[in-house]
Homo-oligomer: A and B are copies of this chain.
Amino acid sequence: MSQFKVISLESIRVACKNCTLASLCLPMGLSPEDVERLDEIVKRARPLHRGDYLFREGDRFRALYVVKTGSVKTFAPSSEGGEQVLGFHLPGEIIGLDAIDKDVHACSAKVLETSAICEIPFTRLEDLTATTPSLQHQMYRLLSKEIGQDTDMLLLLGKKNAEERLAAFLLSLSQRLHKRGLSPSDFYLSMSRHEIGNYLGLAVETVSRLFTRFQEDGLMCVDRKHIQLLDLPALESLVGGSGQSRRQQQQQT
């Protein structure tokens, strides 16, 4: 029995060098030898299930996590009991970078559907990057990229209306899935309308109404959690801003 378990774990043993997501993950641009060394510290890719936590707010920071398959949401408690969804993480995306500073997780990470997650002990990674300049550079880029993404989100929450936000959200998913070799126009939403609304700073009802409207306008086809984007260009022009909707605030400060 315990032997079975070992075998089972071995069978799903991570192998960065064979991972189809390598080009999106840390190994990107590393030499084969460097990937080999990285491979040795990556701990496991055990399957987790909907509702499982990778870590909780307040947990000591130990490792970074990479989604191999499935999806994860991160969220932080807001004042007075509610929560703010901080992000949805798809295959190839790294979770936990925000905890390096304080050595404690300030948010929780919860698995949205059955997922395989790689775990990278941070101390060991740090040691490795100290002797592998290309990996160090990769880490800097990764951290920097995260900042850039947060910036995009600030722009979205600060300047865009409901319609633009949902369109941007759908396009973001589309683009990220596409990079992972999946269909950019046909996918499942592993998160609830509630979570989407929370993430985008909108009420559930608004999200629901927008899905309906986008469908009526022929932009997409919605069936429960199954989404088909029928008119990417139109969605892109929606995000661009203006379109025919209300005038935006033109602040030049």
Using a CB–CB cutoff of 8 Å, the interface residues on chain A facing chain B are: 75-76, 78-86, 97-102, 106-107, 126, 129-130, 133, 136-137, 139-148, 150-151, 153-155, 157-159, 192, 194-195, 197-201, 203-204, 239-242, 248-253
Contacts and interface: CB of A to CB of B under 8 A. Distances in A.
Contact of A195 (B83, B129, B253): B253
B150 A198 contact: no
B80 A248 contact: yes
Contact of A159 (B82, B98, B102): B82
Contact of A100 (B107, B144, B151, B241): B144
Nearest to A202: B158
Contact of A137 (B83, B126, B199): B126
Given A82-B248, A101-B144, A106-B148, A158 B157 contact: yes
Q: Which 5 A-B pairs have the closest CB atoms?
A: A79-B241, A150-B150, A100-B144, A143-B143, A157-B157
A253 B201 contact: no
Contacts of A106: 148, 151
A137 to B, nearest CB: 7
